[in-house]
Structure 1
Amino acid sequence: MIVLGLLLLCLSSQANAEVFPDDDDDSCHIQVKIIKDMVSKCGERSSSSEANFSAKTLEFVLKAVRESNGNEIQKFHSELKKELQENIGTISKMVSDISMNLEATRRDLNDLKSSSIRNSEKDTSHCPSDVSNLTVLPNGKKYLFSNETRVTWYEAKVLCEMQKLHLASPKTQQDLTTVHRKARELTFVPWWLSASDARSNPGQFFWHDGTSLSTNSLLWSEGEPSDYGQGNEACVWIRSNASDKLEGSKCSSYYHYICELPAACMSHK
């Protein structure tokens, strides 16, 4: 408004000068210059204000975008974490269920194996026709101590079965001591027995008839069994020049072996 007033004043003065020319012409020029300066300064202030407004507006918008994106990212992260936890819980339950089913199946197979062996032992047609080469020990059981050649546990198992026998299964300390004493009389060598974790989980030992041999059993020598769960099946043996306790070793090792007459055949011959 001030600028407009000054402009009008200048124009009025210029009109009067044309009618009544005098020294006021210089005064008008001075006023015009002053007005130009004021307009220029006003424009500068206006441009500065607009620039400040634009900068503040941009800053506000960017801040709003950052806050909005931050909230969205946090929300997405929370949802993703929740979904991941739910999936982990579901998978863990599935693994647990599968493990339980496998364990139940394994027990059923062992029970079936034990039942099959017991039934086969009742059939005397599976008994050897000649047992004169067997040694009767104080526990009343008959054994074959083969110390002529060393074989793997797998080979020893087959050799016993070919004679309608099975690898010895001294499941009590009394039977173990009895078998160990006889082995000691023959020679100081290691002897295979029937227990192993072959075809089962590492460390889960079973005798020939499926009876479990716990790793916590007092029949084990101190520190045994130690050679299992290393990618190899472990089989049980005794050392005749050591204590009357069980030891474990790789089934592929070469030892002598002890066969035992099945219980069902004891009264057959």
Structure 2
Amino acid sequence: MAARSPAPRRVHPGDSAFTWSTEQILALSDADLAAYGLRDVRACTPPVLPAATAHGASVAAPVAGVGTLPASRAPGHDETAKGLRLTDVRCVLQGRTVLSIDEAFFPAGQVTAVCGPNGAGKTTLARAVAGLQRHCGSMELDGVRVERRERLRHTMIVMQDVQRQLFTDSVRAEIRLSASRSGAGGGKLSDAEVDQVLSEFDLLSCAEQHPLALSGGQQQRLVIATTRCSHVRVVIYDEPSSGVDRRHLESIARAVRDSARAGAVVLLITHDEDPLRAAAQTRLDLRPPSE
């Protein structure tokens, strides 16, 4: 019989609403979990995604039962295809090669998941694409070579340490700044438009607070919310779902999908299968290049 808990009651922040044993949690149905805003911790079948077109020492074969090979992994490519292309990209740190990609292509308007064990080069790839990490080789955006400084203007990255990405004195101002920095006319955003974004990420009640006064989860959602207003050409999410509940995971996955629908190249770096299932369309598996 499925475990049932008392009817929800009003609680104050920091209070415990319910207490469950492990057995009770595992007995809850998916509908029960959804009602309480909980994610399913039970093992689920991993999503099967087509493998991104890429090859090189850092590119791992798709995980059995998780990824499938694309129709072709040949170096040749369509010069007219919109997206981000990496050619002979190498990153060396302290004399050791930490990322080695002969060629990879990430289409615009699509979410590419980047997966792999710790030390495989996922964050290094994100930093290189965003122009934050020096590298050998070249990158092209829609067929035009873009240097590191240009990519800094064209790219937005949601880091794991989001405190480094908060600059203003209020949550509302952070949303406006993001739109302003991207040329989207932050000054033209009405309070209603800002409120709509904040409401989607459960941040409306914090609109006038200082960003650094928020909890870690709220800060993470705030930085992700700013991607909704950025209108940049490349958006990178580095482990955006860590520690979030079911409801907030859904809003994050929606933001990731919306970035792609707006025509951006979207990279989703994650160990978490839930955002893969909810947002990703192709998958790139990385491995340490020395393996």
Q: Which has the higher contact order (CA 8 A, sep 6+)?
A: 2
Larger radius of gyration: 1
| Length-normalised TM-score, structure 2 | 0.27
The structure with more strand, counted as a fraction of residues: 2
| Length-normalised TM-score, structure 1 | 0.29
The structure with more helix, counted as a fraction of residues: 1
